[in-house]
Chain A
Amino acid sequence: SQQGEEDPQALSIQEGENATMNCSYKTSINNLQWYRQNSGRGLVHLILIRSNEREKHSGRLRVTLDTSKKSSSLLITASRAADTASYFCATDAGTGFQKLVFGTGTRLLVSP
């Protein structure tokens, strides 16, 4: 069963706008990670946030984590057409060997 559920499933915005994606999960975690996947390609690691962190930044990316609500959000500021991709959250539930459980993803379309 999926640990994470992303919301929305699909998001369409204009260049320059901000994009926010949410992820909910079910069990306690060690960390939560966000990945990007361009169409037909492999996954690219974006950012990792540990369970004792609440917010993390990397360039135009901002990730928040609320362990009390078992949720995370990914904000992409000033979106570009090149940000068009699917975005997945993945959780490490601390069961050993860093076995990640992925959500179903948010498809982001950024139009010029």
Chain B
Amino acid sequence: DAGITQSPRHKVTETGTPVTLRCHQTENHRYMYWYRQDPGHGLRLIHYSYGVKDTDKGEVSDGYSVSRSKTEDFLLTLESATSSQTSVYFCAILRTSGGATDTQYFGPGTRLTVL
């Protein structure tokens, strides 16, 4: 358990509405990540953060934005949700131990359905 919580855990919304998912960590880790998981695709990186106000795009960032105003919170926003964004979203933190053995730990996930 890496002290990661995600909220909400489940959400159903309609196409065109904005949605914000929250990832909260209690261990003061610098690096945080958002992934989505879809059948047949495994996990794909959406955005990541390497510090407060420092974020960058991942593999599938179109349609998503993020913000990190505090170390402990990393927010993922869908400005105008589409059905293709129906997915399970996972947040992760990086526990650093000196480079090549740094390891990501994952939150419990948020299941988002866009109707």
- A residues in contact (CB < 8 Å) with B: 2, 4, 30-31, 33, 35, 41-45, 48, 50-51, 88, 90, 97-105
User: B90 contacts the other chain (Cβ, under 8 Å)?
Assistant: yes
Known: A2-B42, A103-B42, A104-B41. A98 touches B107 (CB 8 A): no
Number of B residues whose C-beta is below 8 Å from A? 26
A50 touches B100 (CB 8 A): yes
User: B3 contacts the other chain (Cβ, under 8 Å)?
Assistant: no
User: B115 contacts the other chain (Cβ, under 8 Å)?
Assistant: no
**Chain A residues whose CB sits within 8 angstroms of the CB of B104 once the complex forms:** 33, 45, 90, 98, 100
Cross-interface CB contact of B100 among A31, A42, A88, A97, cutoff 8 Å: A31
A48 touches B107 (CB 8 A): no
Q: Which of A35, A41, A44, A99 has the most CB of B within 10 A?
A: A99
- B residues in contact (CB < 8 Å) with A: 31, 33, 35, 40-45, 48, 50, 56, 58-59, 90, 94, 100-109
Shortest Cβ distance from A94 into B: residue? B100
A42 touches B107 (CB 8 A): yes
* Interface secondary structure of B, over-half rule: strand
**Chain A residues whose CB sits within 8 angstroms of the CB of B42 once the complex forms:** 2, 4, 88, 102-105
**Chain A residues whose CB sits within 8 angstroms of the CB of B108 once the complex forms:** 41-42
B58 touches A48 (CB 8 A): no
25 interchain pairs (CB within 8 A)? A2-B42, A30-B100, A41-B108, A43-B43, A43-B106, A44-B106, A45-B103, A45-B105, A48-B101, A50-B100, A50-B101, A51-B100, A88-B42, A97-B31, A97-B50, A97-B56, A98-B31, A99-B48, A100-B33, A100-B45, A100-B104, A102-B35, A104-B40, A104-B41, A104-B42
